[in-house]
Structure 1
Amino acid sequence: MTLHPQSRSERDPETHRAISYRTTGSGHGAIVRLMSPSDLGHLIKPFVFLDLFEGESSFIKGMPMHPHSGIATVTVITEGNLRFEDADSGTGMIDYGGVEWMRAGGGVWHGKEMSPGTSKRIQGFQLWIALPPALENASVDSQYLESGAMPEAGPARVILGAYQGVQSPVRAPDGMNYLLVTLRAGESWSYVPPKDHESLWLSVSRGTLAAPGLVDAGEMAIFEPGNDAVTLTALQQDAVFVIGSATPHPYELALGNYSVHTNPQALRAGEEKIAEIGVRLREYLRQPNDSASVPVFR
């Protein structure tokens, strides 16, 4: 991954919230890794990981079962649709603005609850949230929310948190906002973060934003810490992007292969739980099963 710090000479002297880093990430197939816990994640935690995925919807079939602990994942669809199937939540379709929320907590294996829907192509973001100590080894909590369940505040879908009096139905920890925004060509919109939300970033999936420096599709931009608003303008075409702000996560990041915790002891507990669940999963997969899907293992 190549990070591009923005020099002060490149910054607009009239803006109060300058971009400090930008990246186009590193691609592998249909997925571009824009942020990992070991690079930009430590700058804007609790946001610690971001993938932009785009391609033939059939690529989702190749996603393997994999574990997590200590984090929550939130998947947002920006184009096309995916089908979900879960023993606790039933089945349905997630399209633009729809959300899969998975609080891994103390340990979970997943990866087969989503499958291609009716669209040939799919695009969206997967974000990881570092959980606070009270939740990092807690029980698993998952939600599948179709687009009609996600509230709007102007041009924004409120994915996590609350904005302009609109509360997301996602059961996320307090202290963070995550919005999906579509602006028409030439349209401007200002995001005013809560006063304690010093971390601020955005990533564009379609179009180009003036922020006031240009942020193109496929790029992630991190703003300098602070509390000031940002005004964003879509240029010659419609722009679709996600923007997140949060109270900074005050803990160090203890990193495993699929886990992020606040300390080595919590990480060890999460990895031990993952290993125990993995034994049960492998036993399940060895048995004949009439269902084509594999449930979430927790």
Structure 2
Amino acid sequence: MSAVLSPKPGRPVQYRSRGQRQAWFNRLVSPSGLGERIKPFVFLDDFDIAPSGKPLSGLHPHSGIATLTVIVSGQMEYIDTTGKTGILPTGGVEWMNAGGGVWHGGGAIGNSNVRGFQLWVALPPEDENGPAYSQYLAPETVPAAGPARVILGSYGGVSSAIRTRASMNYLHVRLQDGEAWSYQPPAGHGIAWVSPMRGVLHASEARLENEIAVFEDSQDTIDFVAQGDTEFVLGSAVPHPHDLVLGYYSVHTSQSALDRGEASIEVIRKQLEAEASQ
């Protein structure tokens, strides 16, 4: 391992958390906690799922959000009530825009554990009760700018195939031992955070490992240096200006929008039960 070159002091880390680790995931962000601070990013899990031969959690509902799953290693099967089903390989991406209501599920397949991140983003009022839809991106369709894969948004002259009304970036970055990299957020992106899952990441004067770090609100450049081969996700965005009104699997901007979403979820549940009984 090479000597670590400290990044120059810059945009400081304002908040850090190692999350709440459970059986197969580490909950780094929840809508009732840190999600209030970094919205539109309202939920983040770092997961490590062993294959079991059946869907991990079966079908479960969402409304008012989009979920974004990045597979770092292994393979995951998926199914959703928009009619999509298939397999996400290593490097694959799932974008599930729940809108006014959807059910989806999945689990690890093959002989290896599945590692990755699941992110939830809060949708604006124009989309939170709209039609549900999903996009599944093969690894070769995810553009890259240097060491950064652009999962969502635009960076380094390339753009994700996933389109959002709100301005936000979500990058999956790999750095080699001793490699330095800088991220300049787009205009208006006052929210920024990073979560390393492998190696040690130095940012400003912080040493980060298996945690989430939230940077001070600004639009300054963030400088990184890797200690060991390092892998992390990074998010930046224009702040979400709306309240977070929470259901069990849903996040909306008002109680009336949540009520509509939960009513739609119940209609889909009854349809699924009717289909299962036939």
Shift of 1:167: 0.6
* Percent of aligned positions that are identical: 47
Contact 2:124 2:166 in 1 (8 A): no
Match of 2:45 in 1: 51
Match of 1:127 in 2: 119
Distance 1:84 1:156, change over 3 A: same
Paired with 1:223 and 1:161, the residues of 2 have a C-alpha distance of 19
Paired with 1:156 and 1:266, the residues of 2 have a C-alpha distance of 36
In structure 1, which of residues 234, 251, 267 is the aligned counterpart of residue 242 of structure 2? 251
Shift of 1:119: 4.6
Shift of 1:16: 3.0
Shift of 1:193: 0.2
What secondary structure sits across from 1:135 in the alignment?
coil
Paired with 1:101 and 1:161, the residues of 2 have a C-alpha distance of 13
In structure 1, which of residues 186, 189, 209 is the aligned counterpart of residue 181 of structure 2? 189
Shift of 1:173: 2.8
Contact 1:78 1:240 in 2 (8 A): no
Contact 2:57 2:107 in 1 (8 A): no
In structure 2, which of residues 12, 17, 24 is the aligned counterpart of residue 23 of structure 1? 17
Paired with 2:250 and 2:38, the residues of 1 have a C-alpha distance of 17
Match of 1:241 in 2: 232
Deviates more, 1:171-180 or 1:153-162: 171-180
Contact 1:25 1:33 in 2 (8 A): yes
TM-score (norm 2): 0.92
Letter in 2 for 1:201: W
What secondary structure sits across from 1:227 in the alignment?
coil
What secondary structure sits across from 1:268 in the alignment?
helix
Contact 1:94 1:145 in 2 (8 A): no
What secondary structure sits across from 2:55 in the alignment?
helix
Match of 2:66 in 1: 72
- Deviation digits for residues 79-105 of structure 1 (CA, Å, limit 9, x no counterpart): 222234567556344212x10000000
Letter in 2 for 1:257: Y
Say whether residues 1:214 and 2:213 are aligned partners.
no
Match of 2:90 in 1: 95
Gaps of 5+ in 1: 1-11, 288-298
Paired with 1:208 and 1:54, the residues of 2 have a C-alpha distance of 19
Aligned-residue CA RMSD in angstroms?
1.9
What secondary structure sits across from 2:218 in the alignment?
coil
Shift of 1:60: 7.0
TM-score (norm 1): 0.86
Shift of 1:279: 1.0
How does 1:158-237 map onto structure 2 within 5 Å?
A: 158-212=150-204, 213-217=206-210, 219-235=211-227, 237=228
In structure 2, which of residues 114, 138, 147 is the aligned counterpart of residue 146 of structure 1? 138
- Deviation digits for residues 190-224 of structure 1 (CA, Å, limit 9, x no counterpart): 0100120000001111111001311102x011111
Match of 1:276 in 2: 267
Contact 2:98 2:132 in 1 (8 A): yes
Letter in 1 for 2:219: N
Letter in 1 for 2:126: A
The number of aligned residues is 271
Paired with 2:27 and 2:231, the residues of 1 have a C-alpha distance of 18
